[in-house]
Amino acid sequence: MQANGSIFIADNDVKTRDLVSAFLTYQGHSIVCPEQETPFFDTVKKYNIDLVIADIAHLQTIAPDFLEQSASINPLLVLIAYGSTSREDLIMTSSENVFTLSKPLNLDELESLVMRAREYQTMRLLDTSAAADDQHQALSLTMVGKSAPMRDLFDLITKVAASNATVLIQGESGTGKELAARAIHQLSSRNGKNFIPVNCAAIPDDLLESELFGHVKGSFTGAYANRAGRFEMADKGTLFLDEIGDMKANLQVKLLRVLQNREFEPVGASKSQKVDVRIVAATNKNLEELVAKRDFREDLYYRLSVIPITIPPLRERQEDIPLLIHAFLARFNSDKRNALKGFSREAMELLCSYEWPGNVRELENLVERLVILKGSGFITPEDLPEKYLSGRAPARNTADELQAGMPLPEGGICINSAVDEFENRLIMQALNRTGGNKKEAALLLNLKRTTLIEKLKKKNLAFGEE
């Protein structure tokens, strides 16, 4: 993650400003308070501000030219705006670096937008650093990821694309094997020619040979005319042999021959045909195991896996999950005005700790479904299907644990919920000690009384009447 800049809170309502400031400071962000006399953009430059959280009316007073100026001052600057929705505001909300919130502020939603802003900045940063390198550009347009395994994968794809070598892509279902195959083609010198996919599992065995190699008229019942096969269509381009692990033994032999000699015979033809194709194969089966069981030819396996690429399952690259969620959110939102704004922290944590057996495809489908069904506002755990909720933290621990100093459990802990829980217990202890007097409890906690009240509201911690 890049080091983030500071957050500028622009609101002339001191109560709101303090509440937001305290909340975000507590979350570990660096906050800058406005300097009355200094022009807005001078403060932005001076304190390396890359996120402005503002009451829209106030921002229009202190920086009426915000949208025109911000990009030239800091292209990564993001605005989270709240307040009224005048015509000017609506113009603002159509910018991709502006997120909006309604008032009264919901701190959970604010936090979710701060997270989205950070993700947006990371994506922009990845795009800009990749743009310096033309080879990386096409990749960053299609494949989202910033985790170490994905960065290694991007490097490998870029290198492999420059060669003509046969590639074997392995990985669980939905990890992005086809996307990687397409990226290899796009980044190669063959990109002006065809990328031809063949799903070896979807085509019936008796048709696959003719599908791959074509046939001549009259070679079998129903062959009324000569027909080109996928190899011929992919000439000078790339042939993507998907689900190669499902190919039957007799065709494996024929494929091996093409890989060795770069020539093939259409079904029923007496002469062979030369072809110049780059082969990329993929499977979600373990080919080595199939070879050991003699279900897949060993010689073909070695011919295919000149360059083996393995795409890791999503559960092994958790840090890509929020990035993917926001990328899909932006994609599925793109043609809607009142679109889904983001995910509450708890919902995002649940999705990050989920196993994702269907990998990126499952995640993509979930976001699409949520955009359609919910359509606006923020996704909370209540909006998620049951199976995503299993990682939910247990309700609460005993007070003794707090005194014992909260040991780290064997299986690890969700730090955000733990900190939240810790905070709840300190607040409840302070209120108990002061007999429910919020002013005194706030003093004990070194908080403003209003901040404490807001916290209680946000956390749904009921404690006496206001």
Ligand X SMILES: Nc1ncnc2c1ncn2[C@@H]1O[C@H](COP(=O)(O)OP(=O)(O)OP(=O)(O)O)[C@@H](O)[C@H]1O
Least Å distance, CB 360 to ligand X, is 4
Please list, in sequence order, all residues whose beta carbon lies within 8 angstroms of the beta carbon of residue 125, skipping any fewer than 6 positions away.
2, 76
| Minimum distance from residue 157 beta carbon to ligand X (Å) | 11
CA angle 341, 343, 349 (to 5 degrees): 165
Which residues within the stretch 347-386 sit at the binding site for ligand X (CB under 6 A)? 360-361, 364
Closest residue (Cβ) to ligand X?
Answer: 176
The neighbour count for residue 224, using CB atoms within 10 Å, is 8
Query: Do 360 and 324 touch, CB atoms closer than 8 A?
Result: yes
- Among Mg ion, ligand X, none, what binds residue 145 when CB lies within 5 to 8 Å by partner kind? ligand X
**Which of Mg ion, ligand X, none does residue 38 bind to, with CB < 5 to 8 Å depending on kind?**
none
Give the one entry of Mg ion, ligand X, none that residue 284 binds, where binding means its C-beta sits below a cut-off of 5 to 8 angstroms depending on kind: ligand X
Q: How far is the CB of 175 from Mg ion (least distance, A)?
A: 9
Sole binder of ligand X in the list 43, 122, 175, 451 (CB under 6 A) = 175
For 452, how many CA atoms within 13 A lie in the half-sphere containing its CB? 22
User: Closest separation between CB of residue 128 and Mg ion, Å?
Assistant: 30
Task: Specify the residue, 115 or 367, whose C-beta has the smaller distance to ligand X.
Answer: 367
Q: Count Cβ atoms within 10 A of the Cβ of residue 413 and give its class: 0-12 exposed, 13-18 middle, 19 or more buried.
A: middle
Distance CA 453, CA 457 (A): 6
Give bridge partners of residue 278 from the DSSP assignment: 238
Least distance to ligand X, CB of residue 451, Å: 40
Residues forming contacts to Mg ion in the complex (CB under 5 A) are 178
Give me the sheet containing 98-101, strands edge to edge.
31-32, 6-10, 49-55, 78-82, 98-101
- Choosing among ligand X, Mg ion, none, which partner's interface includes residue 360 (Cβ < 5 to 8 Å by kind)? ligand X
Count Cβ atoms below 10 Å from residue 137 Cβ, excluding itself. 14
Minimum gap (Å) between residue 47 Cβ and ligand X = 34
With DSSP H G I counted as helix, E B as strand and the rest as coil, what are the percentages for the chain, rounded to 5? 50, 15, 35
- Nearest distance in Å: CB 143, ligand X: 4
Torsion angles phi and psi, residue 219, rounded to 5: -70, -25
Count Cβ atoms below 10 Å from residue 130 Cβ, excluding itself: 18
| Contacted entry of ligand X, Mg ion, none for residue 174, CB cut-off 5 to 8 Å set by kind | ligand X
Candidates 50-58, 138-146, 259-267, 332-340 — which segment interacts with ligand X by CB under 6 A?
Answer: 138-146
Element spanning 278, H or E: strand 278-283
Could you say which of 143, 160, 167, 309 contacts ligand X (CB under 6 A)? 143
Task: Work out whether 144 is an interface residue with ligand X (CB under 6 A).
Answer: yes
83/176 with CB nearer ligand X: 176
Say whether residue 286 binds ligand X (CB under 6 A).
no
In the complex, what is the shortest distance from the CB of residue 145 to Mg ion, in angstroms, rounded to a whole number? 17
Q: Which does 108 bind (CB under 5 to 8 A by kind): Mg ion, ligand X, none?
A: none
Q: How many residues bind ligand X (CB under 6 A)?
A: 15
Nearer to ligand X, 230 or 345 (CB): 230
Residue 320 to residues 124, 315, 359, Cα–Cα distance (Å): 15, 9, 11
Contact residues for ligand X, defined by CB under 6 A: 143-145, 171, 173-179, 284, 360-361, 364
